[in-house]
Amino acid sequence: MTARTLTAAGETRLAGASVTRVGFGAARLTAGDGWGAPQDPASARNLLLAAVDAGYDYIDTADALGPGISEQLIGEALGNRDDVLVATKVGMLRPAPDAWGVLGRPDYLRQQIRLSLQRLQRDRIDLLYLHRIDPDYPLADQLGALQEARDRGDVGAIGVSEPTAAQLEQVIAVEPGLAAVQSLYNPVARRNTAVASRARELGIPFVAYWPLVGRGLRAEDKERLFAEFRSIGERIDLTPHQLSLAWIFTTQPHSLAVAGSRSIGHLVQNLVAAGVELDGCLVAEISQAVERVLGGVPFDPRFPEEER
């Protein structure tokens, strides 16, 4: 095929396990935007099981999704299965459907780890992220709560979500065995490029969230951008979403991505991109399309309101 290469497996290492580079982002197990219980919990559990059957062996969630709902449904569907890596996060608050907060108080983190274990119905959380770094508490104390859980066997590996480049250096000083860095990253949102590159230098897997662009642009801008992506992708038999994932895996070769959907068809399509590598000319063409269509228009997952 022109301008793309298919790799054999599309797998990489994460927290000591070999997993596919596309993980199942479990926010969509909730009613919407990571808030509330779905109307049909059985369908949500069945979707997750179908995704695992299709090849997903890495599930990514957080205690704030629901809150607690995503973890609960994962626990009910998968329990203590050892053929699926389950990652979750602690350290963010969800007091209302449209509100998020950060709380790194160590006792709160300890409590949430216990609750996550209960909801996930697992003996151990394979990968636990500090969801955000709270400036109101010493970083060593926040990571210390996660390290304590690892030391007693409740957690397998520790990650951090959305650090700045400076914070990443501070995290490494406290937790030299950092297993993963997860940050917003896609062809439009590139502010974490330096963090991703530094993670690569350190040999730490980088996990991109919100990889499919999706919400974050005005509807008319997204329509124009996806028309460009569709035109590019048709030449190499990739959908716009597959193209976005392949762009991530090509520009950050050590990376993974977590993407969710309520459609098993879309989830299966996303898996295809795990084994795709784009050539340099195509990567440049994608970047040029973004600049041509958006011209510096910022990407913000909170926008637009009507798509929440």
The pLDDT, as a whole number, for residue 308 is 41
DSSP summary character for residue 101: E
The pLDDT, as a whole number, for residue 304 is 59
CB 65 within 8 A of CB 25: no
The pLDDT, as a whole number, for residue 104 is 98
Q: How far apart are CA 24 and CA 227, in angstroms?
A: 26
The pLDDT, as a whole number, for residue 297 is 83
Mean pLDDT by 10 residues, the chain (308 residues): 58 95 96 91 98 97 98 97 97 93 98 98 98 98 98 98 98 98 96 97 97 88 95 96 97 96 96 94 96 88 56
Contacts of 306 (CB under 8 A, 6+ apart): none
CB 282 within 8 A of CB 4: yes
CB 275 within 8 A of CB 193: no
The pLDDT, as a whole number, for residue 194 is 97
The H-assigned helical ranges of the chain are 41-54, 69-78, 106-120, 139-151, 165-174, 193-202, 219-235, 240-251, 264-272, 280-294
The pLDDT, as a whole number, for residue 273 is 95
CB 225 within 8 A of CB 212: no
Task: Give the residue carrying structure tokens 């219980």.
Answer: 37
The pLDDT, as a whole number, for residue 9 is 56
